[in-house]
Amino acid sequence: MAHQAYNFTDRVRQVLRRAREVALEMHHEYVGTEHLAIAVAMEPDGPAATVLDALGARRDDIVARVRGAITPGSPERRIGPDLPYTSRAKKVLELTMAEARLLRHDYVGTEHLLLGILAEQVGIGAQVLSSLGVTADRARAETRALVGSPGGHGLPADQLVAQAAAPGYARSRSPYGVALVDDFTGRARDTLRAAYEEADARDHGAVELAHILLALASREDGMAVVVLDQVVGSRKRVAEALVERLPDKEQRGERKALQLSPESQQALDSALLEASKDGHRRAGTQHILLAVLDGLPLALAAACAQLGLTAKAARAAYERMKE
């Protein structure tokens, strides 16, 4: 199938900015699903507003109920302005992109963001909306009626997954978390192949974040290489530290096709989100690096931090490169 890029509309970008403004106004140090829900409900028009109106949900009532469910922070605390997303809010954004893909849309709009909030299910935003009768199924049906889906009906998630470049590579976690081969640049795909080869050579049972980070640190080109060299001084130090910490060759028993670990799959989903925020059609090695560093287990994160390599430092270096 044709590649579908994550093109955030101006309207949904405005909603995401508003969510941060709401969080700052409430003196919160983060952007959560509650702020996203408020921002969507405050949108005066657009697809999400139309869906909410069609389902009989008063948008001012949504705002009031969500605000009533959360406690403002201390006004004395200095915050922001660049607030991080909570893990639930990040999940909402991943689901938002998945909803757009399931509808076979080549953009991400406020209607998809509304569906993403509902699909997350457990956050304050989803709970308040559900209490008002706005469920994922009803909102999805209304969205289809409003904006449609190319070719009539959206395909099931398992039909939206491209064949992998290597066994198990970037397969879908049905029904969400799809990552197609075409969503990554050539260098990024080469990096993931190298991660598979590293795991396979050691007879490891899954491709872990350490394999991906080692593949990134072993490259000779790409934006991730530049970021690593700026942060650490030499990416080879990172590669050497990872090799020391990777488990020795394991006995895998019956050999099965390698799969990404759940943490690695989540990192690739997050890399697609990083690329979307940059306005890129495909995720590059730098986006994978940022996502992997965000998801490292504590022990590995501590080992990298000893070298000066942290998610915060890498993100700061990348932001400087973009200036």
| Tokens of residue 158, six digits | 């398992």
Supply the pLDDT for residue 80. 63
SS (H, E, C) the chain: CCCCCCCECHHHHHHHHHHHHHHHHCCCCCECHHHHHHHHHHCCCCHHHHHHHHCCCCHHHHHHHHHHHCCCCCCCCCCCCCCCECHHHHHHHHHHHHHHHHCCCCCECHHHHHHHHHHHCCCHHHHHHHHCCCCHHHHHHHHHHHHCCCCCCCCCHHHCCCCCCCCCCCCCECCECCCCHHHECHHHHHHHHHHHHHHHHCCCCCECHHHHHHHHHCCCCCHHHHHHHHHHCCHHHHHHHHHHHCCCCCCCCCCCCCCECHHHHHHHHHHHHHHHHHCCCCECHHHHHHHHHHHCCHHHHHHHHHCCCCHHHHHHHHHHHHC
pLDDT range class, residue 253, cuts 50, 70, 90? low
pLDDT reported for residue 215:
93
> What mean pLDDT comes out for the span 158-171?
30
The predicted pLDDT at position 258 comes to 75
Distances (CA, A) of 323 to 181, 205, 316, 317: 29, 41, 11, 10
pLDDT tens for each residue of 209-231:
999 999 999 988 889 999 999 99
How wide is the angle at C-alpha 72 spanned by C-alphas 75 and 115, nearest 5°? 135
Residue 218 lies in a domain: yes
In a domain, 247, yes or no: yes
Q: Which pLDDT does position 228 carry in this prediction?
A: 92
Q: What is the pLDDT of residue 162?
A: 26
311: Cβ–Cβ under 8 A, 6 or more apart, which residues?
A: 290, 293, 294, 296
Please tell me whether residues 136 and 199 are part of one structural domain: no
More confident call, 83 vs 62: 62
What is the tens place of the pLDDT at every residue in 104-118?
Answer: 787 888 999 999 999
Is the pTM for the entire model greater than 0.85? no
Confidence of residue 310 (pLDDT cuts 50, 70, 90): very high
pLDDT at 172: 33
- Domain boundary (105, 122, 147) is at 147
- Is residue 91 included in any domain, yes or no? yes
Q: Is residue 157 part of a domain?
A: no
Please write the tens of the pLDDT for every residue from 229-252. Answer: 999 988 888 988 888 888 766 555
Domain match, 296 and 209 both: yes
- Backbone φ and ψ for 109, nearest 5 degrees, come out as -115, -175
CATH number at 218 reads 1.10.1780.10
Q: Return mean pLDDT, the chain.
A: 79
pLDDT at residue 119 above 90? no
Are residues 20 and 121 part of one domain? Answer: yes
CB 101 within 8 A of CB 182: no
Check pLDDT > 90 for residue 1.
no
Burial grade of 114 (CB within 10 A; 0-12, 13-18, 19 or more): buried
Q: How many CA atoms lie within 13 A of 78 on its CB side?
A: 0
Give the count of domains, the chain. Answer: 2
Asked if residue 163 has pLDDT above 50, the reply is no
Confidence band for 200, pLDDT divided at 50, 70 and 90: confident
Q: What is the pLDDT of residues 10-26, one digit of tens each?
A: 888 889 999 999 999 88
Q: What is the pLDDT of residue 46?
A: 83
Q: What percent of the chain has pLDDT over 70?
A: 82
Residues 143 and 191 in one domain: no
Q: What is the mean pLDDT of residues 263-269?
A: 85
Rg (C-alpha) for the chain, rounded Å, is 21
Contact 116, 110 (CB under 8 A): no
For 119, list phi and psi in degrees, rounded to 5.
Answer: -65, -25
Q: Is the pLDDT of residue 282 over 50?
A: yes
**pLDDT value at position 168?**
32
- Average pLDDT (177-202) is 77
Give the domain extent around 38: 10-147
In a domain, 173, yes or no: no
Q: Average pLDDT, stretch 272-279?
A: 76
